[in-house]
Structure 1
Amino acid sequence: MADSAVAGVSTSELDVSLERHLGPPAKLLAKHLNLHTVGQLLNHFPRNYLKRGELTPIADVPVDEEVTLIARVQSANARRMRTRKGMLLEVIITDDAAGGIGQMNLTYFNGYGAERELLPGVRAMFSGKVTMYRGKLTLTNPKYVLLDDDDDNPDYVNKPIPVYPAVDKVSSERIAMAVGIILDTLDPAHLIDPVPEAVARRDKLMSLAQAYELVHRPAVVEDAYRAQHRFRYQEAFVLQAALARRRALTAREEATARPPHHGGLLDQFDARLPFTLTNGQREVGDVLAADLAGDHPMNRLLQGEVGSGKTLVALRAMLQVIDAGGQAALLAPTEVLALQHHQSLTRTLGPLAEGGMLGGALDGTRVVLLTGSMNTAQRKKALLEAASGDAGIVIGTHALLSENVRFFDLGLIVVDEQHRFGVEQRDLLRSKAAASPHVLVMTATPIPRTVAMTVFGDLEISTLTELPAGRSPISTHEVGLAEHPAWIQRVWSRAREEIDTGRQVYVVCPKIGDEAGTGGEDGSALELYSPDVQAAPSKQELTSVVELYGSLAEVPQLESVTAGMLHGRMDPAEKASVMGRFNDGDLQLLVATTVIEVGVDVPNATLMVIMDADRFGISQLHQLRGRVGRGGHAGTCLLVTSLEADHPSRERLAAVASTTDGFELSQKDLELRREGNILGASQSGGRSALRFLRITQHGKIIEKARSDAQEIVAGDPELVGYPGLVNAIELYLNPEKEAFLERG
């Protein structure tokens, strides 16, 4: 289904096959653009509009993309080809730009028609894929349409030319012709508007038929902008209605109530705490307690700064469920994090986690770990404790999802770093509960309000903003080696200073150091949020864990330092051993990939050095530096980069160095990478589903659409009275799109 098939739908004509209207040419649209129905074609909106009277600045034309531009022929020369039969026509076009003429080369093989028509001085619209040949911008065999400079009809001269997302086999002009045929035969009476009539009347929105006409065939470009405004609200409204309906239907499900139990494990745990909960932890804890006591499933997102105490809040919720006779499952994205959670929760609970064991609390529970690398005996023991109910808390990775994992009474699912899990994985775990379990998902990546409304609108959201007492501030500094090559020596001296005071140091590298190249904790591609990351000079040799670890002996400042190496491709037992030694203080310096990005908690670590920091996104850098300064000692993060000071990627590093406010950084991150893959490629494998709505710019529209959608769904949860909206939601929630709505 087309990625843009969102804006409008009907039960009749828009669902009709394009072949019925267009005949054989419809097969090209289906094959090359994945457009099959009238509605999908009409929702394949122009990406921009050209004015017939204006030439396109050639300097702005992107390389390796299909483009449509208006230019003037400067010269045309035909010659015989030397190596094969036929003629080669070489045309140079210009934009006549003030202050310097922009030029592009066109090449036609056997272009006899072009030779007759593309004469010097002719203006035309050209379409094709831009490449570079011998350092010059080139179009090979581009399609063209001649434009008349002397047309006396001002309406014709001023009428914008729509430019569509196109491919080599289907040009923008051909798409426009197909759209024109559809619009000429479209019956407005057969369009069922997804936007309720009362809302459209209130906001003076044009009709759906008029919006299609003006967005595709505007008389002036302002017509298209007015139509885009209509579709912009429509996109927001359909999305918010889908989220509101999902939320309403989830609220109808039945769950086992897990009310607080006086004198139970939670009360005992609170009495043992050596510190006082922050106001935020207590307030969020009260909200979770009330949710768990209800007979409908909790679906809540808990977001908070790195180190704000989310895990403690989640643990208290787990204990409430255990007190009520249920079990809790904690799903972690990596074995290192699962192991860290197991060690941390076991240590924090003390005797309360030793139920039935010598020295354990009489009414205590057990915390078990289940990972894919466990041996058969360990796995059998963990499976038995989960199935029997002896284990109140089961912590694991994807291994928790396997068929042979059974729970006695699964009451709460806690998903850590929820963005790393797909909908199928979350639903698999849910299916292991007799009744709908309560669900708590956590993220340490703060989410801007507009994103939260747009992406997580079906979840209740709680936020922890304050840090627990004892957490020290983290100072962050850019280390620009392009300007100051000698600063790398100062970095290692700084590491030695921390180690000499009894502290520990992380050094993070962007790749492991084998043929797989750049990779995350498991060797997978790093999350490179900004497009400019990929524009980093190819000559830049990325620092690898293996190579850096092997060269530490050659660094004078680190002589006699005890170092370790950690990455996702190591044997699980070896990873656990290295992490355990670092945790116990046996290792003074740890060279690692982003495997230590989340959850790793070593209070004695105070310095983090991030090599080639420009290869990481803002939120990743923020997560990584949150691993230091966790034990009452001040933390420092050094962002090392070899990029020039004016490189676009340095803007991200400057942003991270300027503030530790995660919400401010998340907004900056969103602005720098634009909409990118918020609702698109990262979640569904396609381009963004939002064609006109921009989350960074249209917060007021999103809020209005959310309010309208919630009011409608509250009165009609099944949307029986809104068939157009139901159909639009179904189009929106096609298999490629459903993932982002379910990703919580």
Structure 2
Amino acid sequence: MASLDDISVTEIKGVGNALAEKLAKLGIQSMQDLLFHLPHRYEDRTRVVPMGSLRVGDVAVVEGEVMKTDLVMGRRRSLQVTLKDGSGFLVLRFFHFNAAQKNQLGEGTRVRCFGEVRPGRAGYEFYHPEYQTNPPPMPDASQATLTPVYPLTEGIQQPRVRSLCQQALKYLERHPIKDWLPAELLADYQLPCITEAVKLVHSPPAGAPVHLLVEGRHPAQQRLVMEELLAHQLSLLQVREQIQAREALPLLPTGDLTERFLEELPFKLTGAQRQVMSEIRQDLSQPVPMLRLVQGDVGSGKTVVAALAALQTLGAGAQVALMAPTEILAEQHYTNFKGWLEPLGIPIAWLSGKVKGKARQQALEAVASGEARVAIGTHALFQDEVAFNRLALVIVDEQHRFGVHQRLALREKGVGGSLAPHQLIMTATPIPRTLAMSAYADLDTSIIDELPPGRKPIETVVVPDSRREDIIERVRSACREGRQAYWVCTLIEESEALQCQAAEVTAQELTERLSDLKVGLVHGRLKAQEKADVMAQFKDGELDLLVATTVIEVGVDVPNASLIIIENPERLGLAQLHQLRGRVGRGEQASFCVLMYHPPLSMNGKARLQALRDSQDGFVIAEKDLEIRGPGEVLGTRQTGLMQFRLANFERDKGWIEPIKEMAPSLMKQPRVVDALIRRWLGEKIRYGDV
């Protein structure tokens, strides 16, 4: 019998080539794909809400009589239909309409509609609601069911997806979904079989517990959540297996270079750095590729640990590649490593997008011949033309800015193309333990949880923007005393163009107000070289104040900067604010971070800024951030598609993470099951293991 995986969605009546193409954008090609395109929330359309009790933001069903219908000629022509129901009235507004619609919604007509309440010129409004004229009676409470809401793509409306999913459910009678999980496992957790779970989630029966479904805690949803989290875990373990199936060059520590390096360092390693170093030393001496994530809060000294790992590799006669996500960060690593390693007689090559022509050719030749022992750059290091002589260690900074597949691409550049390089991944974004266990299941984790002695805590103050004058004066006095300051403009969900414009306006205003100071500006629309030049001027003390968008978030090191002002901090996540705050406090003097918000603050906003004021610990802040905003934001992967779940919600479902960690290894012994689960939940579009 054909499986659901083999039946194309074009079997459904009304699905022609054009619709099939749109569905493919959602990753839907087979009937199984359609059944696993799950509703991400539900709407309660089971009761009519009196218009008088509506509030802005409510999503509700209302029913009433048309009082009047008007054509309104504003900036955009619209059809305005006023409904009343005895408790109040509501305006339905249509920007796209035809004459038939206008006639259908004539005075006295009874209309039931569903929409979201917005404030409007004439009171509360629904824009383009779904509606019925002269509707049938509402079903009684025992017959009422919730309405599923599906993720959409351009050109497909919600009712269409609903109807397709309902039609797909009919196939389940002849083609039940294959349950890949052992029956005893489901019995242990009292979970339904997969077919029952999928049916219930798409089509909740009358009388199903509304609150459990709305919160995502119904056993049928939890059955699917568990399997989805398991599929993600298995896909990452598969990546690990693929990388570790290749041998690596064992790099036995010789100690000579390391000792010379440590003698020259102006400080002693912290206990945490020594502990992490011994874990790395052990990994590097094995014939299996190291896969280690080093997490460390801002300023905990991850770069020194990376340098020590590099020295162990170099001592064993092999090459090192260090890759960072931005030109600024890569250049900073280059400067640090050059200062540390060139005195030890180790040549370093610099390869980024902006190294062109002859300089690029020379760098490529030095790396290919082995003359350059260390190559540092951006993702330009991935390019095919970059060939290494004897690459045995890859250091990746801020890994979540790269896809897993990019790390996999690097394994082809190992010694002789057959030995995989060891991988050391560093991040200054503290990741809550639960999230790290899932998001980085392919990696062993080390944490540098101790700041170097002498690092002073940064004092954080929260002030409304009505005190802008005082803050400008504070900047003036700090800079007059010979220190430097950052002023960060945030406009997060707006376009980049608006963000840059806001920074330009602020820079202009501050230049006029602080005419005795030198003010610089960096934002995302500047060319990489222009950005780097301004950053270099700031680092060299030629600028007193740097106005920036959030491009300065990670890793920029200016010890003389002791004050940072962040405008509209309520628009950013906690982890990002913590990263920005870490731009100061890198020198000897006391440092300050001013969070200048625009009132009124929501409860959520207050809680977040309070958390930042109360704690300097990135891990505590990351836990709070996860609670408030979810994993895609915390990992910075909302754009990449990584860790984008259909049903699972990290905060709600973190109770599954430990059990899944225990289940996964035994399932890994059954490749057919692993492949089927990954195919079902991750589709072809995010096979983590595919390069």
Alignment partner, residue 512 of structure 2: 554
Alignment partner, residue 199 of structure 1: 185
Q: After superposition, where does 1:352-371 map in structure 2 within 5 Å?
A: 352=344, 355=345, 365-371=346-352
Shift of 1:217: 4.0
- Of 344, 361, 364, 1:383 maps to 364
Does 1:239 pair with 2:239? no
Any unmatched runs of 5+ in structure 2? 74-78
**Distance across 2 between alignment mates of 1:130 and 1:642:** 25
Q: After superposition, where does 1:228-307 map in structure 2 within 5 Å?
A: 228-262=221-255, 264-307=256-299
Letter in 2 for 1:13: L
DSSP-derived class of the 1:13 partner: coil
- Of 673, 695, 708, 2:650 maps to 695
Alignment partner, residue 338 of structure 1: 330
Alignment partner, residue 625 of structure 1: 581
Contact in 2 for aligned 1:332/1:416 (Cα 8 Å)? yes
- Of 17, 20, 23, 2:8 maps to 17
- Of 45, 51, 62, 1:71 maps to 62
Alignment partner, residue 732 of structure 1: 681
Q: After superposition, where does 1:450-529 map in structure 2 within 5 Å?
A: 450-481=434-465, 485=466, 487-510=467-490, 517-519=497-499
Q: TM-score, normalised by structure 1?
A: 0.78
DSSP-derived class of the 1:412 partner: strand
Equivalent pairs, count:
665
Q: After superposition, where does 1:150-165 map in structure 2 within 5 Å?
A: 155-156=142-143, 158-162=144-148, 164=150
**Distance across 2 between alignment mates of 1:438 and 1:26:** 49
Contact in 1 for aligned 2:625/2:634 (Cα 8 Å)? no
Identity of aligned residues (%): 35
Alignment partner, residue 437 of structure 1: 421
**Distance across 2 between alignment mates of 1:401 and 1:166:** 34
Alignment partner, residue 76 of structure 2: none
| CA offsets 1:14-40 (integer angstroms, 9 cap, x no match) | 5412333x3225768646555443223
Q: Single out whichever of 456-465 and 642-651 deviates more from structure 2.
A: 642-651
Does 1:210 pair with 2:202? no
Distance 1:62 1:676, change over 3 A: farther
Contact in 1 for aligned 2:401/2:636 (Cα 8 Å)? no
Does 1:719 pair with 2:675? no
Alignment partner, residue 358 of structure 1: none
Letter in 2 for 1:24: G
DSSP-derived class of the 1:391 partner: coil
DSSP-derived class of the 2:538 partner: helix
**Distance across 2 between alignment mates of 1:703 and 1:388:** 47
Any unmatched runs of 5+ in structure 1? 1-9, 83-87, 356-364, 524-541
Distance 1:15 1:130, change over 3 A: farther
Shift of 1:127: 5.5
| CA offsets 1:358-402 (integer angstroms, 9 cap, x no match) | xxxxxxx12332233345443343333322222222111233233
Distance 1:207 1:547, change over 3 A: closer
Contact in 2 for aligned 1:336/1:595 (Cα 8 Å)? no
Distance 1:421 1:406, change over 3 A: same
Does 1:317 pair with 2:309? yes
DSSP-derived class of the 2:652 partner: coil
Does 1:634 pair with 2:590? yes
- Of 59, 82, 90, 1:103 maps to 90
| CA offsets 1:286-329 (integer angstroms, 9 cap, x no match) | 11111111111112211110001111111100111111111111
DSSP-derived class of the 1:690 partner: coil
CA RMSD of aligned residues (A): 3.9
Alignment partner, residue 50 of structure 1: 44
| CA offsets 1:593-651 (integer angstroms, 9 cap, x no match) | 44432222222222222344444432222112212111232211122334434586565
Q: Single out whichever of 196-205 and 53-62 deviates more from structure 2.
A: 53-62
Q: Single out whichever of 268-277 and 566-575 deviates more from structure 2.
A: 566-575
**Distance across 2 between alignment mates of 1:690 and 1:348:** 43
Alignment partner, residue 37 of structure 1: 30
Contact in 2 for aligned 1:281/1:464 (Cα 8 Å)? yes
**Distance across 1 between alignment mates of 2:687 and 2:635:** 10
**Distance across 2 between alignment mates of 1:571 and 1:445:** 26
**Distance across 2 between alignment mates of 1:326 and 1:230:** 48
**Distance across 2 between alignment mates of 1:460 and 1:38:** 38
Does 1:420 pair with 2:401? yes
Shift of 1:143: 4.6
Contact in 2 for aligned 1:338/1:396 (Cα 8 Å)? yes
Contact in 2 for aligned 1:89/1:111 (Cα 8 Å)? no
Contact in 2 for aligned 1:13/1:191 (Cα 8 Å)? yes
DSSP-derived class of the 2:664 partner: helix
Q: Single out whichever of 213-222 and 183-192 deviates more from structure 2.
A: 183-192
**Distance across 2 between alignment mates of 1:549 and 1:213:** 57
**Distance across 2 between alignment mates of 1:599 and 1:680:** 16
Contact in 1 for aligned 2:322/2:375 (Cα 8 Å)? yes
Distance 1:247 1:479, change over 3 A: same
DSSP-derived class of the 1:693 partner: coil
Alignment partner, residue 411 of structure 1: 392
Contact in 2 for aligned 1:413/1:437 (Cα 8 Å)? yes
Distance 1:276 1:166, change over 3 A: closer
**Distance across 2 between alignment mates of 1:440 and 1:411:** 11
**Distance across 2 between alignment mates of 1:195 and 1:614:** 43
**Distance across 2 between alignment mates of 1:282 and 1:209:** 52
Shift of 1:415: 1.2
Does 1:708 pair with 2:666? no
Contact in 1 for aligned 2:678/2:687 (Cα 8 Å)? no
Contact in 1 for aligned 2:69/2:107 (Cα 8 Å)? no
**Distance across 2 between alignment mates of 1:182 and 1:319:** 59
Distance 1:93 1:390, change over 3 A: farther
Alignment partner, residue 528 of structure 1: none
| CA offsets 1:186-223 (integer angstroms, 9 cap, x no match) | 23664211322231122222122222332214132239
Distance 1:663 1:742, change over 3 A: farther
Contact in 2 for aligned 1:240/1:457 (Cα 8 Å)? yes
DSSP-derived class of the 1:590 partner: strand
**Distance across 2 between alignment mates of 1:193 and 1:30:** 27
Shift of 1:174: 5.5
Distance 1:700 1:646, change over 3 A: closer
Contact in 1 for aligned 2:320/2:393 (Cα 8 Å)? yes
Shift of 1:260: 0.9
Contact in 2 for aligned 1:414/1:439 (Cα 8 Å)? yes
Letter in 2 for 1:448: P
- Of 125, 132, 148, 1:144 maps to 132
Does 1:664 pair with 2:616? no
**Distance across 1 between alignment mates of 2:154 and 2:84:** 20
**Distance across 2 between alignment mates of 1:28 and 1:301:** 44
